Amino acid sequence: MIKVTVLGRASAKPTVSSHPSAQVVNVNEQYYLVDAGEGVQQQMFRRGINPLKLRAVFISHLHGDHVFGLFPLLSTMGLCGRQTPLKVFAPRPFGEILEYHLRYFDSHLPYQVEWVEVDTTKHCCIFENKTLEVWSVPLRHSVPCSGYHFKEKRPELNVHKFKIEKYGLSIAQIVAAKRGEDIVLEDGTLIENSELTYLPFEPRSYAYLSDTSRSAVAAERVKGVTLLYHEATYTAEFARDAKERGHSTAADAAQIAVAAGAQRLMIGHFSSRYKSPEALLAEAQTIFENTTLAEEGETYTV
Query: Using CA of residue 15, residue 17, residue 19, residue 20, what is the dihedral sign?
Result: negative
Who contacts 80 (Cβ-Cβ below 8 Å, separation ≥6)? 51, 52
Question: Closest Cα partner for 252 from 267, 271, 262?
Answer: 267
211 a catalytic residue? no
Alpha-carbon distance values, 234 to 16, 215, 231, 239, 277 (Å): 19, 16, 9, 7, 9
- Which member of 65, 106, 182, 211 is catalytic? 65
Give the count of beta carbons closer than 10 Å to the beta carbon of residue 48: 7
Are the beta carbons of 251 and 283 closer than 8 angstroms? yes
- Measure the CA–CA gap between 45 and 160, rounded to whole angstroms: 43
Helix axes 278-285, 250-260, angle to 10 degrees: 40
- Measure the CA–CA gap between 38 and 170, rounded to whole angstroms: 57
Question: Closest Cα partner for 150 from 297, 23, 246?
Answer: 23
Catalytic positions, please? Answer: 65
